[in-house]
Amino acid sequence: MDGLPDPGQIWNDFITNPVVQLAGTLIVVYVVLLWLGVAYWAFRDMQARTENPILPYFAAALIVFFTPLVFIFAWFLYVVIRPRETLAEVYERSLAEESLLAEVEKNQLCPTCRDRVAPDWLVCPNCRTRLHRVCSSCHRLIEPRWSICAFCGTEQPVAAAGRPPVTTAAPNEATAERTERAPEASPLRGATNP
Ligand SMILES: [Zn+2]
Ligand SMILES: [Zn+2]
């Protein structure tokens, strides 16, 4: 025994140990690969978030600039400052907004009482305004003001203005009701409008 072991000697033995050296090399290689991988990830991530062709290079350069030692901070920084939505998310959101808008437009309002009505209703159940007629020939819903069916070209009975609209009519009753129905020239002329 020659007294206490020398700490410097222990350290020297440790770092010159081939196993330790191999492990150290592998760790360094791993960190460098991670560094480059994160830089590439930032490049692709920015590509997905902007149409700007330059910004992805800036994102990758930010990671590279921070070196393998502290690139993790650049990674955090990038995640904080990157655009919040990807282009796919922006596109999806605009699609959703468009379909919402189409939905709102599809929900028609009664021209007289502004109540919500379905696009295939014949009359407004609230104020009895004529919304549609049924073609006497093809039995499809047509606009009250049409004098001819847009679908089959059949002449429609001329609207008798001033008469109150008929309350109900099913498509298969259309032919029978055709003479007695009094469709209005315009739904705005709802005679029963209070
Ligand atoms: Zn109405
Ligand atoms: Zn028709």
Domain boundaries, the chain: 7-86, 104-164
- Greater pLDDT, 39 or 15: 39
- Confidence band of 7 (pLDDT split at 50, 70, 90): confident
Whole-number Å distance, alpha carbon 191 to ligand 1 midpoint, is 11
Whole-number Å distance, alpha carbon 135 to ligand 2 midpoint, is 5
Are 25 and 15 within 8 A, CB to CB? no
Ligand nearest to the CA of 109: 1
- Strand intervals (E) in 54-177: 108-109, 116-117, 133-134, 141-142
Q: What is the DSSP letter of 173?
A: G
Q: Whole-model pTM?
A: 0.51
Instruction: Give CA separation, 183 vs 57, 142, 154, in Å.
Output: 67, 11, 16
Whole-number Å distance, alpha carbon 172 to ligand 2 midpoint, is 13
- Distance, CA of 135 to CA of 150 (rounded, Å): 9
Query: Could you list which residues have their CB under 5 Å from ion ligand 1?
Result: 110, 112-113, 115, 124, 126-127, 129
Tokens of 50: 């902007």
The arithmetic mean of pLDDT across residues 13-35, rounded, is 93
- Greater pLDDT, 99 or 34: 34
Whole-number Å distance, alpha carbon 155 to ligand 2 midpoint, is 8
Q: Which residue has the tokens 């007629």?
A: 133
Q: What is the pLDDT of residue 148?
A: 92
Whole-number Å distance, alpha carbon 144 to ligand 1 midpoint, is 14
Q: Which residue has the tokens 């209005």?
A: 184
Ligand nearest to the CA of 139: 2
Whole-number Å distance, alpha carbon 50 to ligand 2 midpoint, is 51
- Confidence band of 100 (pLDDT split at 50, 70, 90): confident
- Greater pLDDT, 20 or 187: 20
Angle CA 190–192–194, to nearest 5: 105
Whole-number Å distance, alpha carbon 184 to ligand 2 midpoint, is 18
**Taking 90 as the threshold, does the pLDDT of residue 47 lie above it?**
yes
Tokens of 43: 């490049």
The arithmetic mean of pLDDT across residues 73-81, rounded, is 93
**Taking 80 as the threshold, does the pLDDT of residue 66 lie above it?**
yes
Instruction: Name 41's Cβ contacts closer than 8 Å, sequence gap at least 6.
Output: none
Task: Tell me phi and psi for residue 48, to 5 degrees.
Answer: -75, -15
